[in-house]
């Protein structure tokens, strides 16, 4: 079998692939085989400066483009993204490893934000007060910021950029995207679709890299705002560094999402939800359920149902039709997640299902970054498997005596991204959504990611900054408000034109 040379993956600046020579590179793997399939150029500060300069140059014209023109580009991009979603999903599967249907789902959720951004003429409407004082009118405007940066994580290489740059571009900003160096190709394909949709060169630029590229974006004087999704330590660094340099920042951090199951809940429905939300995308989701909180006396029944469902899961390549769960993104990440299995046992947790022993499908290559679904029972706060964001297919069961104890457990956690309650009791559900200190709440919904016209974001150590992603918060984040107070003499008259008014 011939050896395939790794493909070069490089930046896209001012509408074209970068033609320079990179001093540093990173390996991109097929997680299902472990093979190196690409070598990505890692940007130096000079390359970041080149991308920001292109964005700044393009901003001079794009900021003045009519909202009709901008929305036309958004509609064209939406059609291209929908038409080529299978191609984009294949790129995500090849570099991230998630199963094909999950990749399609990620693109579908990103499309929702694109469709929301297509309504930018309505979203940018200001207010108007006639005769606020004698002969004086007052009105408000929302205007773009300038070049903005989007730093996205490996776990959603298509969806997370789509959370941010459609609204940023629709509002008249220009963008520099820094995707994860682990799965960089989806961002390049999205940039190509924008170009085909008619977006002017330089409005969207892609630079690949690691911390050196990110830190330059955080410090660059021409970058006006930064949107970030990743771990809490890095989110804190992004927020502190960028705000110190005078930038607007929304930095979404890590999570430890709890699913509280009350004694009256449908346990079969709850077990299905826990398995879907805990092991989908191999647990590499910031909204994954990682802690299943069972209120006595349902613990035994719930754990048994989860174990039965785990036994039926097929672990294999994301491209294989029968796979329920694919590999983890890199070997290093797989090894980090696996280390928690021994740490959990050492801390006193019961390893009810060991993912290292889960059978692989016949399609699974020996060199892939595999770890099967893992279940811990009788976990307590203070154990590493409870305290840390593992970001893998590891679900921990905590048993509590009452609703109040379960609520206190959720509220005491330093993270506050997402949570869910499973119950048949409407009163308990209403009380929970009011009392829980978490940004996104599901009632019999395990992964409560809001639709595009609401906003995504958590509380506490899961969010740094004042605004959430997309929705109304996204429009506010990517624009600045301006109030105008005016007085005019009597209007002058002149010219006759009986033609129907147009945008031109």
The CA distance from 153 to 180, in Å, is 5
Those residues with Cβ within 8 angstroms of residue 346's Cβ, 6 or more apart along the chain or in another chain: none
118 counts as catalytic: no
Those residues with Cβ within 8 angstroms of residue 2's Cβ, 6 or more apart along the chain or in another chain: none
DSSP 3-state of 474:
helix
| Torsion over CA: 94, 99, 101, 104 (sign) | negative
Q: Exactly one of 175, 262, 286, 447 is catalytic; name it.
A: 286
| Sheet strands side by side (includes 394-400) | 350-353, 374-377, 394-400, 289-295, 257-261, 418-422, 440-443
CB atoms within 10 A of CB 221: 9
Q: Which of 48, 37, 13 is nearest to 211 (CA)?
A: 48
The CA distance from 301 to 213, in Å, is 50
Q: Is the separation of the CB atoms in 71 and 120 below 8 Å? A: yes
Kindly state the tokens that stand for 284. 């590499």
Maximum separation of any 2 CA atoms in the chain, in Å = 86
The CA distance from 231 to 251, in Å, is 9
Q: What is the dihedral of CA 28, 78, 447, 98, to 10 degrees?
A: -30
Active site residues: 286
């Amino acid at each position: 079998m011939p050896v395939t040379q790794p493909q070069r993956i490089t930046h896209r600046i001012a509408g074209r692939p970068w033609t320079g020579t990179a001093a540093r590179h990173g390996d991109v793997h097929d997680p299902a085989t472990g093979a190196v399939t690409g070598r990505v150029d890692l940007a130096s500060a000079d390359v970041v400066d080149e991308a920001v300069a292109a964005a700044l140059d393009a901003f001079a014209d794009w900021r003045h483009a009519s909202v009709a023109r901008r929305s036309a580009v958004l509609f064209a991009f939406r059609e291209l993204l929908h038409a080529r979603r299978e191609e984009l999903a294949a790129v995500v599967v090849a570099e991230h490893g998630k199963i094909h249907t999950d990749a399609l789902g990620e693109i579908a959720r990103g499309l929702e934000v694109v469709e929301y951004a297509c309504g930018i003429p309505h979203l940018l409407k200001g207010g108007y007060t006639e005769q606020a004082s004698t002969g004086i009118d007052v009105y408000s405007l929302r205007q773009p910021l300038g070049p903005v940066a989007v730093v996205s994580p490996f776990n959603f290489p298509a969806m997370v950029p789509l959370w941010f740059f459609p609204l940023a571009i629709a509002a008249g900003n220009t963008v520099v995207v820094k995707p994860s160096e682990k799965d960089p190709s989806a961002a390049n394909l999205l940039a190509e679709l924008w170009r085909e949709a008619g977006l002017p060169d330089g409005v969207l630029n892609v630079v690949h890299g690691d911390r050196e590229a990110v830190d330059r974006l955080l410090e660059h004087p021409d970058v006006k705002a930064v949107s970030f999704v990743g771990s809490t330590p890095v989110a804190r660094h992004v927020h502190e560094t960028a705000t110190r340099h005078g930038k607007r920042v929304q930095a979404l951090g890590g999570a430890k999402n709890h699913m509280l199951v009350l004694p009256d809940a449908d346990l079969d429905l709850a077990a299905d939800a826990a398995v879907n939300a805990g092991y989908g995308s191999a647990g590499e989701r910031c909204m994954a359920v990682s802690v299943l909180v069972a209120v006595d006396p349902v613990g035994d029944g719930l754990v048994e149902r989860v174990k039965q469902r785990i036994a039926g899961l097929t672990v294999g390549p994301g491209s294989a039709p029968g796979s329920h769960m694919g590999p983890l993104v890199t070997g290093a990440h797989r090894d980090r997640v696996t280390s928690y299995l021994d740490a959990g046992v050492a801390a006193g947790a019961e390893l009810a299902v060991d993912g290292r022993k889960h059978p692989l499908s016949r399609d699974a290559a020996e060199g892939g970054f595999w770890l099967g679904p893992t279940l811990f029972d009788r976990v307590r706060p203070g154990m590493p498997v409870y305290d840390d964001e593992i970001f893998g297919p590891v679900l921990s069961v905590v048993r509590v005596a009452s609703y109040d104890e379960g609520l206190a457990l959720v509220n005491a956690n330093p993270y506050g991204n997402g949570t869910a309650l499973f119950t048949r009791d409407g009163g308990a559900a209403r009380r929970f959504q009011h009392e829980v200190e978490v940004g996104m709440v599901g009632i019999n919904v395990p992964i409560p990611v809001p639709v595009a016209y609401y906003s995504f974001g958590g509380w506490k150590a899961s969010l740094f900054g004042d605004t959430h992603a997309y929705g109304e918060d996204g429009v506010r984040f990517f624009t600045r408000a301006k109030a105008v107070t005016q007085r005019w003499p009597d209007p002058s008259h002149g010219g006759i034109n009986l033609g129907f008014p147009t945008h031109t």
